Structure 1
Amino acid sequence: MDEQSVESIAEVFRCFICMEKLRDARLCPHCSKLCCFSCIRRWLTEQRAQCPHCRAPLQLRELVNCRWAEEVTQQLDTLQLCSLTKHEDNDKDKCDNHHEKLSVFCWTCKKCICHQCALWGGMHGGHTFKPLVEIYEQHVTKVKDEVAKLRRRLMELISLVQEVRHILDKLSSANTMSLNREGEQMRGNVEAVRGAKDERVREIRNAVEMMIARLDNQLKNKLITLMGQKTSLTQETELLESLLQEVEHQLHSCSKSELISKSPEILLMFQQVHRKPMQSFVTTPVPPDFTSELVPAYDSSTFVLVNFSTLRQRADPVYSPPLQISGLCWRLKVYPDGNGVVRGNYLSVFLELSAGLPETSKYEYRVEMVHQASSDPTKNIIREFASDFEVGECWGYNRFFRLDLLASEGYLNMQTDTYQVRSPTFFQKCRDQYWYISQLESAQSGYIQQINNLKERLAIELFRRQTSRSSSPPEMRLASGPTTSERDLRSVKSDDDIQTTLTNAKKVEEEERTQHDDSNELSDGDLEVDCLTEEEVNPLDGSSTSGSSTATSNTEENDIDEETMSGENDVDFIGNLETEEGELPDDLAGAT
């Protein structure tokens, strides 16, 4: 194949947008033109949702991935390189003066010349000439003889080296044995690591095969359902067609009297057909979704921007309500009038991780702007990507959509954004949930410890009051009456932590009943907790009463737009209230 043919084929496999070699080739389903994925993605997201070549409506998901194009371009590069090398080799054996093939050797000048130089050149008159091939064979023979001598010399040197190596092996045999043992241990360790890796690979392959089998089973069930619906409709259609054919035959073949006599029978058949309602033939659509055991489904939320024109005049970012997912908190950050260099021209949309794991993690997200003029989901503007998020960090799009096209293309009637977030794998989602559960368990342990501390302090305070009352004179105890004792004891819940205090209280009451018959009896069932307030014991609602310092979080916006990277940092200050545990009040036991 000549150079021009290779070049013409290479032109076919060039991107019609950047006119360079294809990179991650995609094919337009309408005109079959090839282009780079990055070029067509930039065109569809920033210009128009149509093919730049044939102007047909085109969405990013409709592009055909041409994996074979890369192999073709590599083969074309190889052909071009081979043709160039062959051309250079042909130029080497040509005369510089006449551009003819070198075929004569001038023995006098010791130079290779062409036949024109030997005959008509004038520079080699009277010289001795010999065929170039003969001289070439002589030189090749001489070179081969010298190569043979060098090989014999090399073999002698190799034998000497082997002798020296044999001596060295004898001298270092002990060291070699030690090194061999260490090498065997190292090889054993390497084999163990490889074996463990292979075991994990086998487990993964087995799991994937089982997942594929379950997907095939789901597909089989869906196909069975669809085939059943199709069979039912087909049977009913065939029945109606046969009935219509029979009626048509009766209309054309029967006489008037016969038709009149058969008319009630025909009408009865029609009534029987109409008795079966059409709703019974309406089939339930089979969803085309399949459950993935590797990638979790998106968690989504909808954010409606009301009074978009007013929000645009303010030029401040608007935040959506938080979306809580496995302990992670997400929210959408929208600039109605654009952000940074695109202010006034583009709608800017970012996704912010408000709370989550302390380390950086990758998450997949998708932002969708709903088309308000129609209910066609294919007209929705969808942007999806995967980014590494830290707490307080934003990722999104500076150039999400042009502001001047919002109203004209039907997106401005109650501006609506749907944003979806998911972990790349179930492993990462389980890790997020494990972290969230650990946080809840830690908070619960803190609350239980606070409750136990309060119970201990309450028991000590109650025991001190009982001791002081027992040491007072009988007349004073009668004057105070049993009401105070009952109220103090009823303010405490019967619990294992204060069993000792209750025993002491019972002993005091038995002494009082012995000395005074009018004392009231006490029972464990009368003990109630009236002194623990909500300020001292909080329910496990996710808030902590322990002291915490004021936290400041920096919010960074990262624009994945290839043309304009947003470097603006939006700093939000989030303050946490600081709560300190106070002393137990004197009236905690319920004494009056």
Structure 2
Amino acid sequence: MIQDGVIPLAEIDSLSKEIECIMCLNTANNSRMCIHCSVIVCAKCIETWINKQKTCPKCFHPVQETDFVKCRLVDKIIEFIEVVKSNICSNHPKETPRVYCSTCKKYVCFECIVTDGQHVDHDYKYIDEDYRKIISLNHKLLDFLRKRRKNNQDNLATLELATQMLLNDHNDNINHVNTVQQTATVLIKETQRTFDNYQQKKQTYVDVIKIDEMIIKNIEQRLSESQNLSDQEEILQILQEHIPSMKIQFSNHINILSPKGW
């Protein structure tokens, strides 16, 4: 039950359980839902499962991969939970973290300092509202980068499988074209062109994934060490540079955060 506008941590944890993948028991990543029993799974988990089994892991109904559809509601719930948790003190679920403890490198609430006596002798700074809004925005952008990396990794895996299938088909074709040299030449050239195209795309995905991994590692470190609004603004600028299509949308958001007269 929501009290004073605060959602109890127990209810958040309970909600998190509802969107767990029944296969890996983690929060569903790129969620899919069975059209027969509505069970939630990760896209990668069910893809691996269906390659070996042809039944739903929950209801055992005969299925194929298309029987597990994208569940946008689950993705929205996951995003909601992440935002809510960022506004809840891990030690006092009814309190909002308003202080950054430089000694422990974590966000704490006043109860942690006053009631529990923790962090009293530590170095800490108060968090202003603009800082809180920008850090929430940065976490959302970081999540976007993680999803983009995951999507590119999935695309790379699909491309590698397609490449292997192409090579297998190519070998089969070679075995049948010894007596038809002209046809063989056409097939070889077409296969080579397609293979070269796949290799170029594969290298593109590899390069993009490496860049995203470097960005994510850099941003995660900066977020863990940030202590003030300017740090978060710098992080936001870095993120926007690497997500061009999101720049206009989030620049409008920042204009709302900026004090009048800036």
Instruction: State the TM bucket, normalised to the shorter chain.
Output: 0.3 to 0.5
Q: TM-score, normalised by structure 1?
A: 0.19
More helix as a share of residues: 2
More strand as a share of residues: 1
Q: TM-score, normalised by structure 2?
A: 0.40
Which structure has more RCO (C-alpha within 8 Å, separation ≥ 6)?
Answer: 2
